[in-house]
């Protein structure tokens, strides 16, 4: 006994989650849910902000995307799955993944020296990227999409 309507609903959720994930794959910055919502609408997708939030929560829970919270504001990025840190532009969210063996060793050695077990750590470098320093935020890069047949004024 197939419940057609709930099947259709879960199909739609899966499709909308794919839009969010595809967007993050194509634009490897940290984005807020509002920014992702805005950009998806610009690309012509019909999706609500709550759906974007729901999709992101699901993608975070399956570790498909990384979440960071700065000053109460969450942002999201499709990252590699290996352990890494972020060098993030505080203006446009441009991000470079960092891995640093000496840092990892220092963390372990410091924890051990103090007798700590089950250690985890958060390390992030935040600054202003080269583009933002010259007033060319990368967010504009997504404004010139190929399919720009905008009818509405
Ligand atoms: Zn990451
Ligand atoms: Zn920037
Ligand atoms: Zn680390």
Under CATH, what is the fold of the domain 81-141?
Dna Ligase; domain 1 (3.30.1490)
- Ligand in closest contact with the CA of 119: 3
Query: To 5 degrees, how large is the angle CA 142–CA 31–CA 92?
Result: 70
- In this structure, is the dihedral angle defined by the CA atoms of residues 136, 70, 15 and 59, taken in order, positive or negative? positive
Does the pLDDT of residue 149 top 60, yes or no? no
pLDDT of amino acid 3: 60
Question: How much is the average pLDDT of 110-116?
Answer: 97
The pLDDT confidence band at residue 7, using thresholds 50, 70 and 90, is confident
pLDDT recorded at residue 141: 46
Ligand having the closest approach to the CA of 96: 1
Q: Residues 21-61: pLDDT tens digits?
A: 999 999 999 999 999 999 999 999 999 999 999 999 999 99
Tell me, in angstroms, the distance from the centre of ligand 2 to residue 122's CA. Answer: 21
What is the residue extent of each domain of the chain?
Answer: 9-79, 81-141
Residue 71's region, left for phi above 0, alpha for psi from -120 to 50, else beta, is left
Task: Identify the CATH class of 9-79.
Answer: mainly alpha
Distance, CA of 76 to CA of 143 (rounded, Å): 19
Q: What is the overall mean pLDDT for the chain?
A: 87
């Amino acid at each position: 006994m197939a419940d057609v309507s709930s099947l259709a609903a879960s199909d739609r959720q899966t499709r909308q989650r794919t839009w969010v994930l595809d967007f993050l794959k194509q634009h490897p910055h940290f984005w807020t849910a509002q920014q992702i919502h805005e950009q998806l609408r610009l690309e012509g997708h019909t999706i609500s902000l709550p759906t974007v939030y729901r999709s992101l929560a699901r993608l975070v829970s399956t570790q498909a995307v990384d979440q960071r919270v700065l000053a109460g504001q969450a942002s999201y990025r499709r990252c590699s799955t290996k352990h890494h840190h972020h060098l993030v532009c505080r203006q446009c969210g441009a991000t470079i993944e960092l891995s640093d063996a000496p840092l990892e060793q220092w963390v372990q050695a410091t924890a051990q020296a103090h007798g700590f077990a089950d250690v985890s750590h958060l390390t992030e470098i935040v600054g202003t990227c080269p583009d933002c320093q010259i007033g060319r935020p990368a967010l504009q890069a997504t404004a010139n999409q190929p399919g720009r047949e905008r009818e509405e004024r």
